[in-house]
Structure 1
Amino acid sequence: MSNPVDERSAGEIKAALQSNNQALAFAKIKECLKKANNTPLNIAVTGESGSGKSSFVNGFRGVDDSEENAAPTGCVETTTQVTRYPHPSYPNVTLWDLPGIGTMKFPASQYLTHVGFEKYDFFIIISETRFRENDVLLAKEIGRMGKKFYFARSKVDNDLQAMKRSKKNVNEKEILDQIKRNCIQGLQNAGVASPKVFLVSRFDLHLYDFPLLQQTLEEELPQHKRDVLLFAMPNISLEVINKKKKVFQDQISVYALMSAGGAVVPIPGASVGLDLTLYVSVTIQYMAGFGLDDGSLKRLSASSGVPLANLKSVIASPLALAKITPALISKLLLACTSTAALLAAEEGFRFIPIIGTAVAATLSYKVTESALQTFLDMLAGDAQRVFKKALGVDSSV
C-alpha cells in the first residue's frame, strides 16, 4: 500500500498545526496528496509494423481510437518515431508507442539505445500473428539489459470470428489455447526461456488474457509502482474495482490522523476547515481512481458505445453527479444526524481545558474515518454499476 504521507511530511504537518498555521497545514496536505499521485510509470509498447501497438496504447489508456489525443491507428505503419501518450487521468503514467523494430535499420541493441531504453519500467512486445525474429532479438536484448518484457498476441477476437465463419461448431477455449501454445512454442524454439504470452483484444479488455496481464504486471512491479499501475488501469473487472477500493481504504487511517491533529488547534472553525479541504481532495482522488469523473465517463461511453446518459443513469451517489466542493461535502455530512452530532461535540470539546483537545482529536478521527469510508463505499458502488452498464449487464442481478 502506498502511503500518501511520509514521516517527514507528517512531522511538518504536525508542526504547522501546533503553531496554529492553518494555511501551511492545508498546503502540506495538498502537497502530500499530489506527491502520492506523481510516482512515474513508463510503459514501452513495441513490435513489428501493423501489429496493433497504437490500438493497445489507446485501449490501456481507456481512449477511443477516434479521439483527438488517441494514438493514430491504421492498416499501415503509423508510428515512425517514439511517441509519448500520457494517461488522461494520471499524467504521471505514460505509454510510449515505439516504432516497429522491423521498420528501422538498427540491430536490437541499437534500437533500444535509439528509443531511450533506460526510461521504461517494462516492455510489452505485440504481434498480431506469430512472434518473429525481430521480436525475439528484441526480447533477448531487453532481458540482457535487466528489464522485464511481456508478449501480447493481439487481435485474437479477429481469429475467433474468422474460425466461426469457416466452421459451425467452434470451441473458443480450444482455439485460444492453441494460439497461446503455438506462440509459446515458437518463442521457446527461438531461445526465449519461459516466455510470458498474453492473448488480448483492444476492444474487449475484460476478456481473454488482459486481466491476467494486469495481475502479472502488478505482482512483478516494485511496490511503490503497483498502486500507480492499478489506478491507471481501466476498470476491466469488478475485482480491479475492489482492489482500488482496498488501497483507498488502507489510506483512510492516515487521513484520519491528519484530521485528529487539526482538532487540537484552538481556533473556531479551524478543524472543520481543515477536514473539508481534506475530504474534497481525497474524494476527487476516489472519483479519478474509479473512473467516475466526467472525462473518464465520456471516454468510457465512446469506447463502449453506451450513451453517456445511460452510464450516468446507474450512478446513485450525489458525489459522482456534481462538482466536489466543501459546500457539497458539508451538506452530505450534516445530512447524517450522527455525524452532525459528532462534529458539534468536537467543536465544543476543543475549548475545554486539559482534556478537551484529546477528546476533540478522538472525535475528529472518528468523523473523518466514518465520512471517508462512507464516500468510498458510495463511489465504489457507483463504479461497479457503471462497469456493468458498460458491458450490458443487468445491475440488479
Structure 2
Amino acid sequence: MEDPDDLHMEDIPGVKEALQNNDTAAAAAKIEENLKQQNNIPVNIAITGESGSGKSTFVNAFRGLCDDEEGAAPTGVTETTSEVTAYPHPNYPNVKLWDLPGIGTTKFPAKKYLKLVGFEKFDFFIIISATRFTENDVKLSQEIQRMEKKFYFVHSKIDNDINAEKRKRDFNKEETLKVIRDDCVHRLRGLGIESPQVFLVSSFELHLYDFSLLQQTLERDLPKNKRDTLLFVMPNINPEIIIKKKKAFQSKIKYYATLSAAVAAVPLPGLSIAVDAAVLVVAVTHYVHAFGLDVPSLKRLSARTGVPYADLCAVIISPLAAAEITKDLLLKVIAQLAGTVALIAAEEATRWIPFIGIPVAMGLSFTTTYKVLNLLLEKLADDAQRVFERTLV
C-alpha cells in the first residue's frame, strides 16, 4: 500500500464512534461524506472586461451550457451584467464562474472596480475583450497584479474575426491569427504591460484556437489541489484533457484503496463490503461527471454540438455512463469484472483466520478496490474519448 498515513479512519468525524457501536451503515455514510468533501475544493474564477465583450457567453461555454439554457448567464447585444453574479458549474457547484459587470461603467468605475466586486474571493481573473484591450483593462490588470492575483487576457469572438477575413482572396488562417495576436500584444505593451500573453478564443468552438492553451496555463499556475478541481470541470475539447483527467484520477485511487484496507482491519461481518460500495459510488460518480458522461451533461453536449443524444449514447459501452450511479448498479457491474468476486470472498473469509487474517484481509481489500477503480476508470475514459470523437463527425 502507498502512503497509508494520508488517510486515517479516526480522522473522519463520527466514524470511530459508529464502528464502536457496530453501526456499519453509519460508518459507510460518514466515509462517503468525507470523500465528497475532498472532491469539493472551491475554485472561484472572475470573468471581467468591458461591456459587450462576450463575458457571459464565455461563462456559459466554460460550464458547457448554451446561452438559452436554464441556469445560463444572460447574454444580449446590450450590457446584461449589472451585478456581481456567481454561476456554479452544473456538476461541480464548488467551482464558480463569476460574471462581473463591465469595468468603467457608472456603477463600477475603474478606480474602485476591484473593491466593489470583492476581488479577494477570486482565485484568478480572466479579462475579456472582443476587439482591442483598453486602458481600463490594463489598469485593472495592474491592480490585480498589485494584489498578487493571477490574470489572463482573452480575445473573444475570434470566430467573427476569422469569418470577416475569409472574404479576402489571400486569406490565411494562421497568418490572420498571428496578426490579431500580435496586435493585441503590441497594444498591451504600449499601455504598460511588459510580457502580455493573449489567448484567442471562440466561446462557440472551444476546441479551436487557444482555449486549450489557456487551460494548460491555468493548470500550471494553480496550486495542486485546485489544479485538479479545475481540470475536472474543463469541457472535453481534445483527447489530451481526457487523458489528463484519467491520470489525475489514477493518482487518487490509492487513497480510496487505503481507506478500504483500513476498514478491512475492523472484524465486523459485512463492514468492508458496505464501506467499499460507498467509496466506489463516490469515486465513480466523480469519474462520470468529470468525463461529462452523466445524462444532463450528454444532453447539453447534444444541444451544443447538434449531435443527437441517442447517437452519443450509442457509442458508450460502460453501463455506468448515462446512468444513475447506485450501490446496486455498481455491485452488479463489479460482479462482471474478472476475478473481483473471488477477491471479495477471499477477503471476508481470511479476516477470521487467527493472527494473519486481518493483515491478509487488508491487503486483499486494497487490491480489490484498486483493481476495480482502475478498470472502471479505464472504461469510462474510453467512453469519453468515443463521445468526443462522435461530436467531431
TM-score range, shorter chain: over 0.9
Instruction: Tell me the TM-score normalized by structure 1.
Output: 0.93
Report the AA paired with residue 75 of structure 1: V
Counterpart for residue 51 of structure 1:
53
Deviates more, 1:25-34 or 1:310-319: 25-34
Equivalenced residues, count: 388
Cα deviation 1:89-133 (Å, max 9, x = unaligned):
110111111111132355423111111111111111111111112
Report the CA distance between 1:7 and its aligned residue.
4.8
- Residue 375 in 1 paired to residue 376 in 2? yes
| Number of the residue aligned with 2:38 | 36
- Give the aligned residue type for 1:73: T
Q: Does 1:177 align with 2:178?
A: yes
Distance 2:388 2:338 in 1: 32
Find the aligned partners of 1:256 and 1:16 in 2 and give their Cα distance: 22
* Further displaced range: 339-348 or 87-96: 339-348
1:180 Cα deviation after fit = 0.4
Q: 1:65 to 1:112 in 2, by over 3 A?
A: same
Cα deviation code 1:42-61 (max 9, x no counterpart):
11111111111111111111
Taking a change above 3 Å as real, the CA distance of residues 245 and 148 of structure 1, as seen in their structure-2 partners, is same
Q: CA deviation at 1:337?
A: 4.3
Query: Is the 2:130–2:156 Cα contact (8 Å) retained in structure 1?
Result: yes
Aligned to 2:226: 225
Q: Which runs of 5+ in 2 are unaligned?
A: none
Partner of 1:312: 313
8 A contact 2:153–2:197 mirrored in 1: yes
- The answer to whether the 8 Å contact 1:16/1:24 transfers is no
Secondary structure of the corresponding residue to residue 364 of structure 2: helix
* Matches for 1:209-224 after TM superposition, within 5 Å: 209-224=210-225
1:133 corresponding residue in structure 2? 135
Cα distance in 2 between the residues matched to 1:54 and 1:71: 5
Query: Within 1, Cα distance between the matches of 2:164 and 2:239?
Result: 30
User: How big is the shift at 1:273?
Assistant: 1.4
- What letter corresponds to residue 342 of structure 1 in structure 2? L
SS of alignment partner, residue 195 of structure 1: coil
**Alpha-carbon distance in 1 for matches of 2:70, 2:11:** 44
8 A contact 1:40–1:92 mirrored in 2: yes
Contact 1:154–1:200 (CA under 8 A) maintained in structure 2: yes
Residue of structure 2 equivalent to 1:395: none
Q: CA deviation at 1:324?
A: 1.6
Q: Does 1:85 align with 2:84?
A: no
- Per the alignment, residue 188 of structure 1 pairs with 189
* Paired AA for residue 174 in structure 1: E
Q: 1:335, CA displacement in angstroms?
A: 2.1
- Counterparts of 1:87 and 1:225 in 2: how far apart (Å)? 15
Q: Are residues 1:153 and 2:155 paired?
A: yes
TM-score, with length taken from structure 2: 0.94
Residue 270 of structure 2 is matched in structure 1 by 269
Query: In the alignment, what sits opposite 1:385?
Result: 386
5+ long unaligned stretches in structure 1 = 393-397
Equivalent residue number for residue 332 of structure 1: 333
C-alpha contact (below 8 Å) 2:101/2:108 kept by paired residues? no
Q: Residue 376 and residue 7 in structure 1: after superposition, are their counterparts in 2 closer, same or farther (change >3 A)?
A: closer
Distance 1:314 1:10, change over 3 A: farther
Q: Distance in 1 between matches of 2:202 and 2:217?
A: 17
Q: Deviations over 1:305-345 (max 9, x none)?
A: 11111111110111114322222222222223421111111
AA of the residue aligned to 2:358: T
Q: Is 1:64–1:303's contact at 8 Å kept on the other side of the alignment? A: yes
* 1:260 Cα deviation from its structure 2 partner: 1.3
Partner SS for 2:35: helix
Contact 1:266 1:350 in 2 (8 A): yes
AA matched with 1:237: N
1:156-181 Cα shifts (integer Å, max 9, x gaps): 1111111112x134210000011000
Report Cα offsets for 1:215-255 as digits up to 9, x if no partner: 10111112221111111111111111111111110111111
Are the equivalent residues in 1 in contact too, given 2:57–2:67 (CA < 8 A)? yes
